[in-house]
Chain A
Amino acid sequence: MAPKFQGVDFYDTDSLLSEEERAVRDTVRAWVDDHLIPVIGEAYVAGHFPKQLVPGMADLGLFGANLPEEYGCAGLNNVAYGLIMQELERGDSGLRSFASVQGALVMYPIYSFGSEEQKKKWLPQMASGTVIGCFGLTEPDFGSNPGGMITVAKEAKDGWVLNGAKMWITNGSTAHVAVVWAKTGAIDDAESIRGFLVPTEARGFSAKDQKGKLSLRASDTSELVLQDVHVPKDALLPKSAGLKSPLMCLTAARYGIAWGAVGAAMACYDEAVSYAKTRLMFGKPIGGFQLQQARLADMLTEITKAQLLCLQLGRLKDQGKATPQQVSLAKRNNVNMATEVARETRRLLGANGILAEYQAMRHLANLESVYTYEGTHDIHTLILGQEITGISAFA
């Protein structure tokens, strides 16, 4: 039985957290050890999202945790939210993706762009896990360029008619409601993009899981197809206005992912250290060999840097000062370093490292998706490049 995760905290970042932030982190950490770790290896290999864990996560208050109490949410600050993502991803990126989508990509847009009625109707049910949501932005031909989307929403007598397709949609096949982004104007008018709350049982709406994934296997990733889907007038998120609306959601999710990646890196590092101290070769633990020590030293250094990065970003966000570019820097750095920590852990584990009973290769595979989604590494590179130089190098 795996011992309880002790965390990685070389620079005593715990002393920079408030008592509540630590308590939140500790609760999620314990829950992940007790409920997620025992089932995740099998779930990943089988390619199943462990849906039975959703009520437990809801009971803890993990969904939309940084949204206000009046909507049934925990009302935590952004550092606490980040710590939740960190601990979930320390378990598995797929589980953290579920929570990111539910919280930052569905509850957040309803909260930010929805009417009071929409907020009161959907948020408490989503906080309690009774209603699961998904975020429909990406399309088969429009990933890094969401503004080019071809899903459209045409005004009709008593509502809207949506047509189009979305792809790589986490939670798509299990969602009760989809936040679908569609153009209400000309096909090249990104400013006409609006958000719509589409019940997944609506006629013409279908979701199908994408098969053959070698990454994020413990997560549902689906294609959505909308064929003349009619929704009432009040399905529109009234304050959504152009491409910047879904991008704000992405920024919210990316913030959580920057923390999540640190969690995955911590899990791998912890596994590496444990293995290095107990695995014997040539009569001594492999942790006594210089090359393995160099690996571990690099991992610890990168994790420590990333932790401090996240913490300051969280404090800025709580002050209302965090910019999307600051979030890009953290997402880009932390995910990249996590992929390297996972890979180096896999290597340190030797042959055992290819087995599902060890975490490294699962994290390694998952993190490749995390590297690509929510803004690929390269896109964040260009976001920063533009921020630094003032010159767009996107196209």
Chain B
Amino acid sequence: MSDVLAVLEQRDGVLRKVSHEVVTGARRLADALGGTATVDAVVLAAGAVQGTDALGGFGADKVITLTSGAFGAYAPEGCAMTIAARATTGGYSSVVFAASATGKDLAPRVAAKLGVALAQDVTDLAVVGGAVTVVHPVYAGKALLKLKLTGTPAVVSLRPNVFTPVQRPKAGAAETVAVEVPAGRVLVKQVKAVEAGVLDVAEASIVISGGRGLKEPANFKVLEELAAAFGGRAAVGASRAVVDAGWRPHADQVGQTGKTVSPTLYIAVGISGAIQHQAGMRTSKFIVAINKDKDAPIFKVADYGLVGDLFEIVPKLAEEIRKLHG
């Protein structure tokens, strides 16, 4: 059977946006497998999940909500057991996760339970000769590995922000099933939110990163204002230098020892563009660099560069973006 199981993510009863990408990737796989391959999307939650009704539009034929009190918070053992059981009983040919923090934790457990390989953090999916093939960046993105998965099911996790959701007019069926989940040994006690509504750099479609050119931590305010001008789609990232200096949290660091991001638009402000930083953002669709030094290496990797004083340019840019958005 060639059906594809898409594993969604929810937090506090709301579907996380990365789930659209998972369904999109699963749909691409199902279409490539051909015939009547369906995409079944599954989400584990304590109760009903908001946002699942939109998933048909991204390519899910069926959305199944598996409920249990144990799924109020992320329960790695319970989730792994449930997904693995589903994958087996459903006879799926592939299982698709997001390579989010949770997905990268859950997918290996499921793969090990199923006794199959996992292609983690892939940027492309295809089917060649009936087998799932993927592309996975390695060596900090300096090379791409093309891999074929030979086991069944093929288990993959998708790098966030790469499988751009494509809307199509189609509704999917929904079902809710209560499941029995034994108490796990690993218990999530709480989630300390960083800030309400703050977007993670790895998931934002627009990332504005600042470096030493900002001169002091308080000046990151100008980047936060620019991010706000984009109306909730933008996150503020940071170079390693300013994270090491304690100006910004490690969670915001873009680069080799931080996060690899792949937004639609990456704006590097006051960042010289060392190779280590480039490794973290070079797959962004469009890169803009703003720097006062026209010889800064960042301009070599940027699509569009602006040479000048960021303290003049960035506020002006924010103003113009705000005007655009009305």
Residues of A whose CB lies within 8 Å of any CB of B are 1, 3, 278-280
Tell me the minimal C-beta distance from B239 to chain A in angstroms. Answer: 8
Question: 12 new A-B pairs (CB below 8 Å) besides A1-B239, A279-B295?
Answer: A1-B212, A1-B240, A1-B241, A1-B244, A1-B274, A1-B276, A3-B274, A3-B275, A3-B276, A278-B295, A278-B297, A280-B295
A279 and B240 alpha carbons, distance in the complex (Å): 23
How far is B3's CA from A254's CA once the two chains are assembled, in angstroms?
Answer: 74
CB neighbours of A278 from chain B (8 A):
295, 297
* Bound-complex Cα distance A280 to B297 (A): 11
Contacts of A279 in B (CB 8 A): 295
Q: Given the complex, which residues of A lie within 8 Å of B244, measured CB to CB?
A: 1
Residues of B within 8 A of A (CB): 212, 239-241, 244, 274-276, 295, 297
Tell me, in angstroms, the Cα distance from A1 to B239 when the chains sit together. 9
A-B contacts, 8 of them at CB < 8 A, read A1-B239, A1-B241, A1-B244, A1-B274, A3-B276, A278-B295, A278-B297, A279-B295
User: A3 to chain B: which residues have CB within 8 Å?
Assistant: 274-276
Q: Chain A residue with minimal CB distance to B240?
A: A1
When chains A and B are docked, how far (Å) is the Cα of A280 from the Cα of B295? Answer: 7
Q: How far is the CA of A3 from the CA of B297 in the complex (A)?
A: 13
CB distance from B253 to the nearest CB of A (A): 12
CB distance from A12 to the nearest CB of B (A): 23
The chain B residue with its CB closest to the CB of A352 is B295
Residues of chain A contacted by B295 (CB below 8 angstroms): 278-280
Give the complex CA separation of A280 and B244 in angstroms: 30
Kindly state the separation between the CA atoms of A280 and B276 in the bound complex, as whole angstroms: 21
Residue of A nearest to B242 (CB): A1
Return A271 CB to nearest CB of chain B, in Å: 14
- A1 CA to B275 CA, complexed, in Å: 11
Q: In the complex, which residues of chain B have a beta carbon less than 8 angstroms from the beta carbon of A280?
A: 295
Return the 6 tightest CB-CB contacts between A and B, nearest first. Answer: A1-B241, A1-B240, A278-B297, A3-B274, A280-B295, A279-B295
Q: How far is the CA of A278 from the CA of B298 in the complex (A)?
A: 11
Closest chain-A Cβ to B24's Cβ sits at a distance in Å of 37
Q: Which of B240, B295, B297 has the most CB of A within 10 A?
A: B295
CB distance from A283 to the nearest CB of B (A): 12
* B212 to A, closest residue via Cβ: A1
A299 to B213 alpha-carbon distance, docked (Å): 33
Please give, as numbers and ranges, the residues of chain B lying within 8 Å of A1 by CB-CB distance.
Answer: 212, 239-241, 244, 274, 276
Name the A residues within 8 Å of B212 (CB-CB).
1
CA distance A3 to B140 in the complex (A): 15
Give Cα distance in the complex from A278 to B244, angstroms: 25
Of A1, A3, A278, most buried by chain B (CB within 10 Å of CB) is A1
Closest to B244 in A: A1
Complex Cα gap A278–B239 (Å): 20
**Chain B min CB distance to A6 (Å):** 12
Given the complex of chains A and B, what is the CA–CA distance between A279 and B297 in angstroms? 9
Expressed in whole angstroms, the Cα–Cα distance for A152 and B240 within the complex equals 57
C-alpha spacing A3/B240, complex, angstroms: 11
What distance in Å separates the Cβ of B162 from its nearest Cβ neighbour in chain A? 27
Contacts of B240 in A (CB 8 A): 1
What's the Cα separation between A280 and B293 when bound, in Å?
12
The distance in angstroms between the C-alpha atoms of A133 and B108, with both chains bound, is 57
Q: How far is the CA of A3 from the CA of B273 in the complex (A)?
A: 11
A280 to B299, CA, bound (A): 12
Of all chain A residues, the one with the shortest Cβ separation from B276 is A3
Quote the shortest CB–CB distance from A270 to chain B (angstroms): 14
State how many angstroms separate the Cβ of A4 from the closest Cβ of chain B. 9
B297 cross-chain contacts in A, Cβ below 8 A = 278
